[in-house]
Amino acid sequence: MFNSFRQAMAWLHTWFGLVLGFVLMAAFFFGALSVFDREIDRWAIPATRIEAQPMPSFEHVLRPAFERMQPLQADIDAMRARVNGPMPTHFDQVASWSAYTTHRDPVLALYAGYKVPNAKDPEELIWAYATIDPRDGSVLPDDRLKIGSGFFFPLHYGLTLDWKNLGIWIVGFSALVMLAALISGVVMHRKLFREFFTFRPGKARLRSVLDLHNLTGVVALPFHFFFALTGLLIFAGTYYFPVGHTQLHDLHDLHERMEAQETGLPHQRAGVPAELASVDAMVAQARHRWEANAKAGDVGFLVVQHVGDSNGYVSVYRAGTDRIALVGDGIHFKGSSGALIREDPAATPVARMSEFLTGLHLQHFRHWLLRWLYVLGGLTGAVCIATGFIFFVEKRKRQHALQGSQGARIVDALAVTTVTGMVLATLGILIANRLLPEALPGRGDWERYAFWAVWAVALVHAGLRGAPVARGLANPAWREQAWAIAVLAVAAVLLNWITTGDHLLRTLARGYWPVAGVDLFLLASALVAALAARRIGARARVQHRKTSRAEPAHV
Amino acid sequence: MSQPPATLAPPRSRRLQILLRVLAAILGGYVFAWGTVALATSLLFAARLDFHDAEFLGAFIGLIAYVLVFLWSIATQRVLRVGLVLLGLGLPMAAAASFVQSLLT
């Protein structure tokens, strides 16, 4: 099919890059935003604009909150079909209680799993969720959309296409192609070192676009490669290659039996009721043990298994804020006595590699500069893909104009939609979040609709305005949408001020960076968009003068 | 069977060629990768690695293998060979993984 290996690589790079680049843009852009997902959550849910809190006392705060929890009626109804006989109205047998927090969370997420009597699959649990204020245990509304961690974050790995995990598969396949595109890109150019230092903005349009594509590609090459790879690895065992749940299920079972024997952590309830000893004392002991191993730190994850049973046990995991590797260092106690059952052994070399690679992607560490470098890396990836689109269009549009083909126009419209349209959709959901009435039922759904609606409008606009591309000229939609970004980004900041009273002077004076940071980032985006729009406008006027002078020669 | 230069091939057969090749690369590559993951996982477990370590390394090896056979599928000359090689290696590897499992459990 191809005459040479390099030609094949160029074909793969161009066409797979074009088709899946749109998905990769979304993964990179929303992944970059997810680095600050907790901070975006604070901006979006003003009731939670408080300082990050450590894991609170179990006896004083967590236990009363857990005891108040029950599954939602909707979840009970959804489960009904998987149960023989009627569903109970109250679930009393608690399989597990757990609480999760990070060093950036002012609110605490609680999970409770309950045994369901007569469930067709006796292992299946029904879950209840709650969000509490860790300072006093008061329940915060759990139905508010956490735009950062509940929307941008799942969007970056699954496009929020939940049906049969379709989105996760699309993003996974795109990540695979990304790895292939990086390798093929290196094969295509070979002059890797020179490209680090090559950017000729003054040269012909095509040349400088390609320079920027190559530059952003190679500067962040390890970042791009490792993020695609670690993203795939994180989901490989669960979604992409679930050998342990399917083909090698028996091996997995064997491992679980061996592990239960080795760890002494009971897999099942004993059926004998038992009281729970002081969990706070167990947490204190766990912290003491970490400190003895030079791993001082806060609790990230606390689990009580088989609540109320003599087989119950408590697992305390560390929040790994002091290193890249995602470590648990779990310590387990017998629930009824508080006696130490087991301390997780030091990780094996493979586990250390796995912890490092997943930690590298999920960034639980406390290091703000490194966090910003992640954002920069993600945006560099987005620039690399966007310049790839522009190069594709610029290279072909004159030829397509002569042939009367619409190809370049379509790709250009899609590129506008994925570059400026995606930013507009992001601003759309933030603005909807500030404008929708507080008590609106299904408020989170409306915010999501606003996001997709704005994106759809951007697509239609880019398509309608794209006619000049088919004549070999530039699409004015680039400039118009860049202006729209500038306006909407400023509007989002103003709306935040009007609806919550948190203007920048106040948040900066208070040092409340989650909200101040989002506002500053929005203003910076507005500035960049306005500058870009002005430059595109100036270039379009030059182009216009040139073509109108050249026009008579054509006719 | 030498191929005529791509530009001279009639568009329809070239389009079919590309479709077949892309399908072979994606689906054949997936079967090959699955076989690699399953076999590597079972063998590493048999070599006394912890199951989750074996699973992780297996997935790592399988993913790298997928990327490489994907590139090879696009670059190599004959598309039929792509399909035969990927399925011909992937399926036996998966079968071997089940065999290793049956020996261990």
List CB contacts (< 8 A) between A8 and chain B: 74-75
* B13 CB within 8 Å of a chain A CB: no
List CB contacts (< 8 A) between A354 and chain B: 52-53, 56
- Whether A164 and A26 share a structural domain: yes
Q: Do A248 and B17 touch (CB under 8 A)?
A: no
Q: Look at residues A430, A425, A429, A427 and name the one whose alpha carbon lies nearest to residue A448.
A: A429
**Nearest Cβ partner of B62 from A9, A241, A353?**
A241
Q: Which amino acid is at A459?
A: L
In a domain, A554, yes or no: no
Min Cα distance A319 → chain B (Å) is 21
Min Cα distance A518 → chain B (Å) is 36
* A87 CB within 8 Å of a chain B CB: no
Range of the domain at B64: 24-104
Q: Look at residues A329, A271, A270, A338 and name the one whose alpha carbon lies nearest to residue A304.
A: A338
Min Cα distance B86 → chain A (Å) is 17
- Whether A519 and A428 share a structural domain: yes
Min Cα distance A15 → chain B (Å) is 11
List CB contacts (< 8 A) between A176 and chain B: 63, 66-67, 70
Yes or no: say if A342 and A264 are a contact pair by the CB < 8 Å rule: yes
- Whether A21 and A157 share a structural domain: yes
- Whether A132 and A278 share a structural domain: yes
Number of structural domains chain B divides into: 1
Nearest CA in chain B to A9: B75
In a domain, A241, yes or no: no
Phi-psi map region of A502: left, alpha, beta (phi>0 left; psi -120 to 50 alpha): beta
In a domain, B45, yes or no: yes
In a domain, A217, yes or no: yes
- Whether A390 and A500 share a structural domain: yes
In a domain, B28, yes or no: yes
* A348 CB within 8 Å of a chain B CB: yes
State the virtual CA torsion across A258, A259, A260, A262 in degrees, nearest 10: 90
* A245 CB within 8 Å of a chain B CB: no
What's the CA gap between A350 and A344, in Å, rounded?
15
- Whether A513 and A541 share a structural domain: yes
Number of structural domains chain A divides into: 2
- Whether A212 and A339 share a structural domain: no
Per-residue pLDDT tens, chain A, 555 aa: give them.
688 888 888 899 999 999 999 999 999 999 999 999 999 999 999 989 999 999 999 999 999 999 999 999 989 999 988 999 888 889 989 999 999 998 999 999 999 999 998 898 888 899 999 999 999 999 887 788 999 999 999 999 999 999 999 999 999 999 999 999 998 888 877 666 666 666 777 667 788 888 889 889 888 888 999 999 999 999 999 999 999 999 999 999 999 888 878 888 888 899 999 999 999 999 999 999 998 888 877 899 999 999 999 999 999 999 878 788 877 889 999 999 999 999 988 888 999 999 999 988 998 888 899 999 999 999 999 999 999 999 999 889 889 999 988 999 999 999 999 999 999 999 999 999 999 998 898 899 999 999 999 999 999 999 999 999 988 888 999 999 999 999 999 999 999 999 999 999 999 999 999 999 999 999 999 999 999 999 999 888 887 777 676 555 443
Q: Do B63 and A229 touch (CB under 8 A)?
A: yes
**Nearest Cβ partner of B63 from A232, A247, A353?**
A232
Yes or no: say if A406 and A397 are a contact pair by the CB < 8 Å rule: no
* A228 CB within 8 Å of a chain B CB: no
Locate the DSSP E strands across A14-57.
none
- Whether A430 and A290 share a structural domain: no
Mutate to test the interface with B, among A248, A261, A263, A354 (most CBs of B within 10 A): A248
Q: Do B53 and A354 touch (CB under 8 A)?
A: yes
* B24 CB within 8 Å of a chain A CB: no
In a domain, A239, yes or no: no
* A452 CB within 8 Å of a chain B CB: no
In a domain, B84, yes or no: yes
In a domain, A555, yes or no: no
- Whether A431 and A507 share a structural domain: yes
Q: Do A350 and B94 touch (CB under 8 A)?
A: no
- Neighbouring C-alpha atoms within 13 Å toward the C-beta of A130: 24
Q: Domain ends where: A335, A362, A389?
A: A362
Range of the domain at A156: 5-47+151-233+367-545
> What would the two tokens of residue B35 be?
């076989």
- Whether A286 and A358 share a structural domain: yes
- Neighbouring C-alpha atoms within 13 Å toward the C-beta of A512: 18
Q: Look at residues A405, A424, A400 and name the one whose alpha carbon lies nearest to residue A492.
A: A424
* A10 CB within 8 Å of a chain B CB: no
- Whether A412 and A524 share a structural domain: yes
Q: Do B70 and A232 touch (CB under 8 A)?
A: no
> What would the two tokens of residue A169 be?
């598969």
In a domain, A103, yes or no: yes
> What would the two tokens of residue A24 be?
């990769």
- Whether A537 and A414 share a structural domain: yes
In a domain, A242, yes or no: no
